[in-house]
Amino acid sequence: MNIILWIITSLLTLLFLAAGTMKIAQPKAKLAASGQGWAEDFPERAVKGIGTAEILGALGLILPAVLNIATVLVPTTATGLFLLMIGAAITHARRGEIPNVIINIALGILAAGVALARFGPYSF
């Protein structure tokens, strides 16, 4: 089970790192034009803040475990990412972007699974 958790955590890390980098590197107008229509509903600073939260979340999922320092941050970060995905799913649902809602729910479930497992029987 520990190997499965590492695989899921690594996958989440890569996905959140990519998504966060995209939000930070591209202007809001370019994000909206590339299919990220939700960005139109938020100020530029909020979009960059969400991207920053995703990048910090990606780092918080993996670095504490790899470095064996403050490993309680892994499930705490996973919980934060779960909450972020709830907010994202609500935002996409209000806009009728159902495929994005499904992705957010899937990522949220994976993050919640990591949090539950790492807080529980498979802690470090």
Kindly report, residue by residue over 37-93, the tens digit of the pLDDT. Answer: 999 999 999 999 999 999 999 999 999 999 999 999 999 999 999 999 999 999 999
Spell 85-119 as b/e; 16+ CB within 10 A means b: beebbebbeeeebeebbebbbebbebbbbbbebbe
Domain count, the chain: 1
The amino acid present at 70, given as its one-letter code, is A
Range of the domain at 50: 2-119
Q: What is the pLDDT of residue 62?
A: 97
The C-alpha atoms of residue 57 and residue 89 are separated, in whole angstroms, by 17
Mean pLDDT of 95-123: 96
Neighbouring residues of 104: CB distance < 8 A, sequence distance ≥ 6: 85, 86, 88, 89, 92
| Residue 94 resides in a domain | yes
- Tokens 């990220």 belong to residue: 36
| Residue 45 resides in a domain | yes
| Residue 74 resides in a domain | yes
Asked whether the beta carbons of 9 and 117 are under 8 A apart, the reply is: no
| Residue 124 resides in a domain | no
How much is the pTM?
0.93
